Amino acid sequence: MKFPDKIKFKIVDKDSKDPVQDVAVALILYAQKKNNYYVGPKISNSDGEFCFTADDCREQIKISQEMYIMDYQSNLDDCQPKVSIEILPPENIKFIMDNLEKNKDMWQKKSFYDDNYISSLKTVKNSQAKNIIIDYQEADLYKSDTLQIEV
C-alpha cells in the first residue's frame, strides 16, 4: 500500500453537519500476512478533525512487531490497499487506558504519548457516537484533503 504522508478526517453530526469533538478513533491497516494493525487512538479536535500520518503507521507497526514478534509480519508497504476508521466503543477505550496506565514506563518512550494522553482518553464522548467502522480503498485516501465521517 502507498500510504499518504498524512490523511485528515473530519467527524460531523449526520443531521446538523456540525463538527463532533472528543471522539476516539483508530485506523486499521490490513496486513497481507498475520494480524492487522490498529493505529491510534486519535481524538477529534474542536473542528471534529484528526489525522494519521505514514509515520504514525510505521511507528505502530514497529511497536506491534517488537511487542508481539510472532503475531505481526507485514510492513506498511506490504499492507493491503485499504484501511478502515473505527469509532471505538467505550470498552475498547477502557482497555487502551488500562494498558497505557499499566505499562506507563514503556509507553512514555513512544512519540505519541504525553502526559495528557490518558486524560484526553478519559474525556472522549464515544458513548454518544455510534460505534462504526468505515472502509476506504487506497484511492479514496487521495480524493480529498479531508475525508468526512458522519455520525
Q: Which three cell numbers stand for residue 34?
A: 498475520
| Residue 35 in domain | yes
In a domain? residue 16: yes
| 19/148 Cα distance (integer angstroms) | 10
Quick one: which of 123, 133, 57 has its CA closest to 90?
A: 123
Residue 40 belongs to domain spanning: 6-150
Q: Per-10-residue mean pLDDT for the chain, 151 residues long?
A: 95 95 96 92 96 94 84 90 95 86 70 71 79 93 95 89
CATH code for the domain in which residue 94 is found: 2.60.40
In a domain, 93, yes or no: yes
What is the DSSP track for 47-76?
Answer: TSEEEEEHHHHHHHHHHHHHH-TTTB---G
In a domain, 141, yes or no: yes
In a domain, 71, yes or no: yes
Whether 1 is covered by a domain: the verdict is no
Q: Does 116 fall in a domain? A: yes
The cell numbers describing 121, all together, are 482518553
How many domains are contained in the chain? Answer: 1
Full-model pTM:
0.89
Q: Yes or no: say if 92 and 39 are a contact pair by the CB < 8 Å rule.
A: no
pLDDT at residue number 128: 66
* Residue 41: inside a domain: yes
* pLDDT recorded at residue 4: 95
Burial level of 44, CB count in 10 A (0-12/13-18/19+)?
buried
